Amino acid sequence: MTSPKKIDIGSLTGAALVYKDVASLDAVQEQIRILHLEPGWGSTPISCTIHLISLTSDPPPKYEALSYTWGDPKVTREIIVNGYLVNVTFNLYSALYRLRQPEEMRVLWVDALCINQTDVDERGQQVGLMGKIYSICDNTVIWIGEPPVDTWPAHWFGDDRDHPSLRWLGNEFVYYSTLREPVDPASVDIVFHVFANLRLIQDSHLSEQPLFKDLTGDTFAYPSDYNYYCSMMAQALAPFVDSPWWTRIWTVQECILPQRATFIYGPVSIELPFMLQVFSSLSGHMLDCCSTTGAQTHPELMPHLRKLGLVMRPIDELRSGRREGPEVSLWTALSFTRSRFATDDRDRVFGVLGLVNSWMREPIVPNYRAKTEEIYTLATLDEALSTNSLLPLHFPLQKDAHPGVPSWVIDWTAGSNVSLRLNVYQWSQTHYLQFYVSHKQPSHVVARDNNRVLEVKGRRCDRVALVGPPCKHGHPKDKRSVYCEWFKLFELDRNPSRSYKTGEPYLDAFWKCLCWDLVLSVDGSAEKAHFRRSKGTTDSYEAFVAFAPISPYSVFHPEGLSPENREAAVRFDPRFDVGQSTETREHTSETFITEQLIGGITLNTGMFMTEAGYLGLGPAETQVGDEVWCLFGSWMPFVLRSTGKSREVVAREGEK
């Protein structure tokens, strides 16, 4: 038997050979290629053939779509495609190996093989179809990777069909209680245990669950002690949480658009609703009834749960927006995916186009011949002109990778270098909509000079007179140091109770700047939370007082201000006294949320004072002499810098 000829599918010559029988794709019929993954098992080579189908056919074509990350292009394995031996990334090889069935062919759409990656125009045309490709597929199989240890096959639904597995988990704990000898940790299926424990979150309070509280008793025992058990659960969950799938831009629409999506973690499969319900329930428990128990979650486990919660929230919100409303605009999709990565910077926009179901202007069409700067400018203009407002200009405008874009255009690549926390708090437009500056004034938004200049109207209100050091790092020690500098710069260490411009104490204005005077509100179901202004109440101040002596980010932390510098503030409110050890104080979810809110809002900002005596938070680049403007159609004031004939946007600014 002749061995297959080896070719490079990434070269023009190799691609021409592989796709020779399926080279032409009819755009009118919305043709795509699909992969027939041949049956096989064990060490037999992975073999597949490529075929053409039309997305407009009636009935619709039957296939599954693969959602995965390409992985390191230098680490490859060989498979057979249309009779040729080609290299694919190890991650794709692993996915195909796991998905291959022993006796039946599997029909898949796999972007790396079904799109001719050497054809720029085809890439753009097929990317434009991705929304439909994923919307009409039977199922999206999401390849997360292999677990750290062997585990039995299992399927988690997120409904009553999971009850037999949960009963098995309960029986395991009862069985352990009957043993006199320690259990060999290697005999415990920790992957089964971790997903069974996650499933329990839907059904009861955290204080009743073995993952969040030590339930050891006469008829209940862990395979080891409680702390070691939690460490084992963290070990099983870590590769799932740390998979690059959660960080890539394309994977968001790939799991949201299909009617069904299934995570594949080695031999374990988990339906998407399972994950959504788990973390919706966990959020509800931690924000309301079980906040104390949740705050005491095992320290090895908590980071994984928080990380999963942060990445599941945008998926949940966008999925709900598409299925239940409100409609998903381009800006909504971009904002929710802000912290994700793309190999090609243009895909930061192209990768979410399939999610958008509300275009007020002409939709953006994927074009890989256009420059990244052009795509980012179009994205910002689309929101500004569609809403006839300056809302997109309120968001962080740092230019990390593309300094050549206009000052008012968002460099979407910059989001890949910021934390998920910044994504959640600085990129949630609901925060900005709490404020009312000039958005009720008719806006004037005109793009000029080939989209390089944005013409707006407004009033100059003030000028920057004093600027504190920028808060550019997320580490508690670094942030606390900057907050202390701000505290002393505005003489709060001397007289925090002196009258501010509004008549309130100066310390009140300071903490309102730090948190934008926002507080967390939880609705009746305790599964959804949103921020609101505490204007007219003391809610945000009480949240700040609870946060101040406990958080490692706070100026009142034992390692923050010196006793001399905090003395006046303690006289103002004795609750700022840290004479009591922070370890004996109660750490609640409300304290954590306040910490996250302040940390997210202040990252890459600096506090300043205007000539009129107002405090504000502006971008890290704010300078003395910069002007504060209220632009018509905006929600918050702007810091602008004169360039002679015009003014550049420095960034949005929340002035008190």
Which residue type, as a one-letter code, is found at position 527? E
Identify the band that residue 360 occupies on the pLDDT scale cut at 50, 70 and 90: confident
pLDDT at 648: 66
Q: What are phi and psi of 592, to 5 degrees?
A: -65, -45
pLDDT at 523: 54
pLDDT at 230: 97
Query: Is residue 12 pLDDT above 80, yes or no?
Result: yes
Query: Is residue 481 pLDDT above 70, yes or no?
Result: yes
Residue of higher predicted confidence among 25 and 536: 25
Element (DSSP H or E) covering residue 271: strand 268-271
Query: Is residue 546 pLDDT above 50, yes or no?
Result: yes
Considering the chain, what percentage of its residues have pLDDT values greater than 70?
88
pLDDT at 294: 84
Instruction: Quote the longest CA-to-CA distance of the chain.
Output: 90
Structure confidence by residue, pLDDT tens digits, 620-642: 889 999 999 988 888 788 899 98
Mean pLDDT of the chain, nearest integer: 87
* Mean of pLDDT values over 601-608: 89
pLDDT at 425: 38
Burial degree of 280 (CB within 10 A; 0-12, 13-18, 19+): buried
pLDDT at 616: 93
* Mean of pLDDT values over 440-447: 77
Element (DSSP H or E) covering residue 231: helix 226-242
pLDDT at 529: 56
Query: Is residue 584 pLDDT above 90, yes or no?
Result: no
3-state secondary structure 2-15: CCCEECCCCCHHHH
Identify the band that residue 589 occupies on the pLDDT scale cut at 50, 70 and 90: low
Considering the chain, what percentage of its residues have pLDDT values greater than 90?
58
Peptide bond into 59 cis (omega under 30): yes
Query: Is residue 549 pLDDT above 70, yes or no?
Result: yes
Peptide bond into 326 cis (omega under 30): yes
Identify the band that residue 445 occupies on the pLDDT scale cut at 50, 70 and 90: confident
Element (DSSP H or E) covering residue 437: none
**Poorest-pLDDT segment among 100-114, 169-183, 335-349, 589-603:** 589-603
Tell me the three state secondary structure of residue 36. Answer: strand
Residue of higher predicted confidence among 256 and 635: 256
Identify the band that residue 293 occupies on the pLDDT scale cut at 50, 70 and 90: confident
Identify the band that residue 427 occupies on the pLDDT scale cut at 50, 70 and 90: very low
Q: How far is CA 425 from CA 339, 358, 588, in A?
A: 12, 24, 19
Pair of tokens at residue 50 = 């490529």
pLDDT at 275: 96
Structure confidence by residue, pLDDT tens digits, 207-224: 999 999 999 999 999 999
Which residue type, as a one-letter code, is found at position 453? V
In this structure, what DSSP letter does residue 247 have? G
Interacting residues of 528 by C-beta distance below 8 A, sequence separation 6+? 522
* Mean of pLDDT values over 91-109: 97
Interacting residues of 195 by C-beta distance below 8 A, sequence separation 6+? 154, 156, 268, 270
Query: Is residue 431 pLDDT above 50, yes or no?
Result: no
pLDDT at 5: 93
3-state secondary structure 392-424: HHHCCCCCCCCCCCCCCCCCHHHHHHCCHHHHH
Query: Is residue 55 pLDDT above 90, yes or no?
Result: yes
Residue of higher predicted confidence among 422 and 327: 327
For β-strands 84-89 and 5-6, DSSP reports them as: parallel
Angle (CA) 158 161 162, round 5°: 60
**Poorest-pLDDT segment among 1-15, 89-103, 322-336, 453-467:** 322-336
pLDDT at 322: 87
